[in-house]
Chain A
Amino acid sequence: MLLHLPSASTYSGDVDGLVLWVTLLTGFWFLAAEGMFFWLMWRFRARPGVKSQYITGKEPHLKQWINVPHTIILVFDVIIIVMAVRVWVKVKQTMPPADDTVRIVSEQWAWTFEHSGADGKIDTGDDVWTSDTLHVEVNKTYHFMLQSKDVIHSFFVPVFRLKQDAIPGRTISGWFKPTKTGTYDILCAEICGIGHGIMGGEIVIETPAQHALWVSQHSVVADAGATAADSTTTPAGAKN
């Protein structure tokens, strides 16, 4: 819906639908107000011999031109609020059960991702750490744990319509479920210093087969165990 930006998560359609409704409802008022405005400008332009009228704004037949729109705007506002809150609750306030979990660590100026590896559990010996590339499987619900090592960053995946700030000292949880395979941008949406303009990453959304292959190639069970176990206690220090 948003021009030619692909839609690749289960809730991106909800956000786009909300944007469409807001466009319709506010667009109506915008066109009505501007239309009336320009019409009045033209209709009451100064003409020789025509004096302006003495109108205070208390005349009932004129006052309703303010009161009726006022009431309709209130109704439209309520509709917009209800729709906005519904989308918000779905994306940010509820967490559907996870199929898999990733840890996302941001720092000046890179993204580090901890994938759960072959066992599907995070903070175990076979976790896969990557820099700037996040690998996920299509149609699987992911929980993410978002952290920052230094300043505020913001995890922004436009094709998911998802954005969440990372706050140093906290772990912020959220979720997404990809619906479309492909490689898309991950952006840092909060200014984070001179490297803000290069702080990008990519999300690779794979079919189950592709994803299983990638995991099997990168998940090293035996000797990475010690380092990965350390990294769980101090996730801020861990990086592949």
Chain B
Amino acid sequence: MAEIAHEHGHLPAGHGHAESNWFIKYLWSTDHKVIALQYMFTGMFMAMIAGFMAYVFRMQIAYPGMNVPFFGHVSPGSYNALITNHGSIMVFWVAMPVLLAGFGNFLIPLMCGCDDMVFPRINRLSYQLFFISAVVLIVSWFVPGGGFGGAWTAYPPLSAVGKYNLTPMGSSLWVLAVALEFVAFLLGGINFIVTAMNARAPGMKAFDVPLAVWMIVVASLLFMASVGPLIAGAVMLLFDQNLGTGFYNPTRGGDPVLWQHLFWFFGHPEVYVVLLPAMGIVAEVITVFSRKKMFGYKTVIYTVVATGVLSFFVWAHHQFVAGIDPRMANVFTVTTVIISIPIAEMCFLYIATLYGGSITFTTPMLWALAFIAEFLIGGVTGIYLGASGADIFFHDTYFVVAHFHYTFYPIAIIGTLAGITFWFPKIFGKMMNETMGKIHFWGTIIPFNFIFIPMFFLGMEGEHRRIYDYTNFPDLANPWAVSMRITSTVALVVMLLFQFIFLFNFIYSMLRGPKAEKNPWKSNTLEWTADSPPPHGNWREMPTVYRGPYEYATPGRETDYWPQDERA
């Protein structure tokens, strides 16, 4: 495959005919970079919708019954639909497309030194299915009855029976959208794995592959191995909703808890499916800006594989109090707490990479460092929930909400922004504005902590999740709790406003930014040896690899970096 790829690569870039037609070039393209951008822009668009949803329901939580500006009065039904779709979008239509599909598509061929994905047309199909899934989801909000409001975990019987959820059409469309989205990522995942395994540049051995590619491939494998049961579960749910079957109906021999097992068997590995690409991005950024070799490169890979394998054996920690046999909880507590070992080791290796470095605090580096600092909070608070005895209390409280936002937010937002600001020069051939980048960084990170730290304390007070109006509960309506909720909401509004700076910086730099050279960060990996932006086919002459990706400050060399394709 590598041979074929190389012959192809010598063709003149762009293939002539494609250049003239905007539709073919940007909407029907098989070029991995264009598909990456399609995924990224769709993901960013969905992130804006999900951010707006968060604004609306946070306003309702802080000021119950208010007329929310740009939305209006929030009814209990629309409140449930907002929280459900906020969660679904952030996981399935933001984190997945941007981190896995967006960066996976852009980076794998460029970092492995090939001209495109191995199956470019499957790649195009993958995006098209993903696009349809996003359209189906958006349509589901406007059908009679409104959008699905049974939480992103969609536990039956609530999700399965129209008379319980009151949104029969919205729930079916939601399940359909999720199932379509899974098919899209299965197709994409096949491509990632095959390309990274078969189409690498000559000389690139497994341990010369940058960590970003390693992690995206392991994430794709985890996704492919875990999603099957959930697709089966989703089809059974669709049948229960529309054909009157009783897979989850206890009066007809079904069991509602079956869905929870199928969902979380996928749902927990899914956390690592999105975590790993973000960790990979962060590894690339911190090595470049501390001018350091990755500390224990192989150990990082082993911890990634260990985490991936263990992640298949922890799912029932979401179900400790769900009516499973209580003895099972003991087994899942052990596996869950033990997973902290490879994850902690990975974090330690990243931190150790800074030792002996020469660190410059550029915008991408600030995001990468913030990822580690914030993700650690998400990591340690997970122990409270994995410890079964404590989870009896914490399950489904705001402590859980705060915990997973301290993992998902660093992943989906901080990790993504580290990646976008780092590869922007390569993607668009323009440099981003550093001043605006830093203002945006601090304007995001500081409010982020003010949003979620109060939630840990509210959770410790027993505040439960997905509640439309806390004034209904005397013990939760005290002035202290109200002030905490208002703090969160105000911080959220501030954080969302700062995103306009990013949006402006992004669009302005894309159009008017100073031109980027090939390798503005003096990085080693192969994508920086292609033009900025790389043409269709990526290289005029395909690269050959002579060394690993992190040879910074190698003794006996004039420069402090040593590109992978430079002949010794």
Task: Identify which of B134-142, B338-346, B507-515 touches chain A.
Answer: B338-346
B321/A87 in contact, CB under 8 A: no
A52/B344 in contact, CB under 8 A: no
B383/A80 in contact, CB under 8 A: yes
- By size class, the interface of chain B is 35 or more
Q: Which of B293, B359, B468, B473 contacts A187 (CB 8 A)?
A: B473
B358/A15 in contact, CB under 8 A: no
Q: Of all chain A residues, which has the CB nearest B343?
A: A73
Known interface pairs A19-B384, A56-B293, A83-B389. Does A66 touch B358 (Cβ–Cβ under 8 Å)?
no
A54/B553 in contact, CB under 8 A: yes
A33/B461 in contact, CB under 8 A: no
Q: Which of A19, A33, A47 contacts B351 (CB 8 A)?
A: A33
A57/B329 in contact, CB under 8 A: no
Nearest-CB distance from B120 to chain A (Å)? 37
In the assembled complex, the Cα of A47 lies from the Cα of B472 at a distance in Å of 58
Instruction: Please encode chain A, from 48 to 83, with 1 for each CB lying within 8 Å of some chain B CB and 0 for all others.
Output: 001111111110001101100110011001001101
**CB < 8 Å A-B pair total:** 299
- Interface residue? B419 (CB, 8 A): no
Q: Which of B76, B155, B158, B296 contacts A197 (CB 8 A)?
A: B76
A34/B77 in contact, CB under 8 A: no
Q: Count contacts on A: residues with CB < 8 A to the other chain.
A: 91
In the assembled complex, the Cα of A114 lies from the Cα of B79 at a distance in Å of 32
B376/A30 in contact, CB under 8 A: yes
A57/B299 in contact, CB under 8 A: yes
Nearest-CB distance from A56 to chain B (Å)? 6
B residues near A197, Cβ cutoff 8 Å: 76, 79, 466-469, 472
Give residues 475-505 of B contacting A (CB, 8 Å).
475-476
B387/A80 in contact, CB under 8 A: yes
Q: Of all chain B residues, which has the CB nearest A84?
A: B387
B296/A63 in contact, CB under 8 A: yes
In the assembled complex, the Cα of A70 lies from the Cα of B341 at a distance in Å of 7
- Interface residue? B560 (CB, 8 A): yes
A26/B380 in contact, CB under 8 A: yes
Instruction: Please encode chain A, from 156 to 198, with 1 for each CB lying within 8 Å of some chain B CB and 0 for all others.
Output: 1011011111111110100000000000110111111111111
Known interface pairs A37-B373, A52-B292. Does A200 touch B389 (Cβ–Cβ under 8 Å)?
no
- Interface residue? B290 (CB, 8 A): yes
B residues near A74, Cβ cutoff 8 Å: 341
- Interface residue? B177 (CB, 8 A): no
> Of residues A15, A23, A55, which shows the largest number of chain B Cβ atoms within 10 Å of its Cβ?
A55
- Interface residue? B63 (CB, 8 A): no
- Interface residue? A110 (CB, 8 A): no
B299/A62 in contact, CB under 8 A: no
- Interface residue? B395 (CB, 8 A): yes
Known interface pairs A52-B292, A187-B462. Does A93 touch B257 (Cβ–Cβ under 8 Å)?
no
B residues near A213, Cβ cutoff 8 Å: none
B357/A52 in contact, CB under 8 A: yes
Q: Which of A37, A86, A172, A184 contacts B389 (CB 8 A)?
A: A86
Known interface pairs A44-B290, A185-B473, A191-B80. Does A29 touch B157 (Cβ–Cβ under 8 Å)?
no
Task: Identify which of A120-128, A134-142, A146-154, A222-230 touches chain B.
Answer: A146-154
In the assembled complex, the Cα of A19 lies from the Cα of B460 at a distance in Å of 10
In the assembled complex, the Cα of A217 lies from the Cα of B157 at a distance in Å of 38
- Interface residue? B372 (CB, 8 A): yes
A residues near B250, Cβ cutoff 8 Å: 167-170
B390/A54 in contact, CB under 8 A: no
In the assembled complex, the Cα of A232 lies from the Cα of B377 at a distance in Å of 49
A residues near B387, Cβ cutoff 8 Å: 18, 22, 80-81, 83-84
In the assembled complex, the Cα of A161 lies from the Cα of B341 at a distance in Å of 28
B321/A163 in contact, CB under 8 A: yes
In the assembled complex, the Cα of A51 lies from the Cα of B359 at a distance in Å of 10
- Interface residue? B518 (CB, 8 A): no
- Interface residue? B291 (CB, 8 A): yes
In the assembled complex, the Cα of A74 lies from the Cα of B341 at a distance in Å of 7
Nearest-CB distance from A221 to chain B (Å)? 33
B residues near A45, Cβ cutoff 8 Å: 358-361
Q: Which of B257, B291, B337, B338 contacts A52 (CB 8 A)?
A: B291
- Interface residue? B166 (CB, 8 A): yes
In the assembled complex, the Cα of A57 lies from the Cα of B297 at a distance in Å of 8
Q: Of all chain A residues, which has the CB nearest B345?
A: A70
Known interface pairs A33-B348, A88-B326, A158-B462. Does A193 touch B296 (Cβ–Cβ under 8 Å)?
no
A85/B461 in contact, CB under 8 A: no
A93/B344 in contact, CB under 8 A: no
Nearest-CB distance from A87 to chain B (Å)? 3
A residues near B359, Cβ cutoff 8 Å: 41, 44-46
B77/A194 in contact, CB under 8 A: yes
Q: Which of B157, B329, B345 contacts A92 (CB 8 A)?
A: B329
A27/B164 in contact, CB under 8 A: no
A residues near B293, Cβ cutoff 8 Å: 54-57
- Interface residue? A212 (CB, 8 A): no
- Interface residue? B554 (CB, 8 A): yes
- Interface residue? A40 (CB, 8 A): yes
B348/A85 in contact, CB under 8 A: no
Q: Of all chain B residues, which has the CB nearest A86?
A: B389
B residues near A185, Cβ cutoff 8 Å: 462, 473-476
B461/A53 in contact, CB under 8 A: no
> Of residues A165, A172, A198, which shows the largest number of chain B Cβ atoms within 10 Å of its Cβ?
A165
Q: Which of A30, A37, A151, A158 contacts B354 (CB 8 A)?
A: A37
In the assembled complex, the Cα of A151 lies from the Cα of B155 at a distance in Å of 9
> Of residues B321, B322, B337, which shows the largest number of chain A Cβ atoms within 10 Å of its Cβ?
B321
Q: Of all chain A residues, which has the CB nearest B81?
A: A194
Instruction: Please encode chain B, from 156 to 180, with 1 for each CB lying within 8 Å of some chain A CB and 0 for all others.
Output: 0110010011100000000000000
Q: Which of B297, B337, B348, B395 contacts A81 (CB 8 A)?
A: B337
- Interface residue? A98 (CB, 8 A): no
| Other 10 A-B pairs with CB < 8 A, given A52-B292, A197-B79 | A2-B462, A14-B389, A40-B351, A44-B358, A62-B352, A66-B296, A70-B348, A88-B388, A185-B476, A193-B165
A to B CB contacts below 8 Å, 19 in the list? A5-B462, A18-B387, A30-B376, A33-B351, A34-B376, A57-B299, A58-B296, A62-B352, A65-B348, A85-B333, A88-B389, A151-B157, A169-B251, A185-B462, A185-B475, A187-B464, A191-B465, A191-B466, A194-B76
The 10 closest A-B pairs by CB, nearest first: A169-B250, A87-B389, A158-B462, A197-B468, A57-B296, A53-B356, A84-B387, A52-B291, A57-B295, A40-B354
Chain A residues engaging chain B, CB cutoff 8 angstroms: 2-5, 14-15, 18-19, 22-23, 26-27, 29-30, 33-34, 36-38, 40-41, 44-47, 50-58, 62-63, 65-66, 69-70, 73-74, 77, 80-81, 83-93, 108, 150-152, 154, 156, 158-159, 161-170, 172, 184-185, 187-198, 200, 202
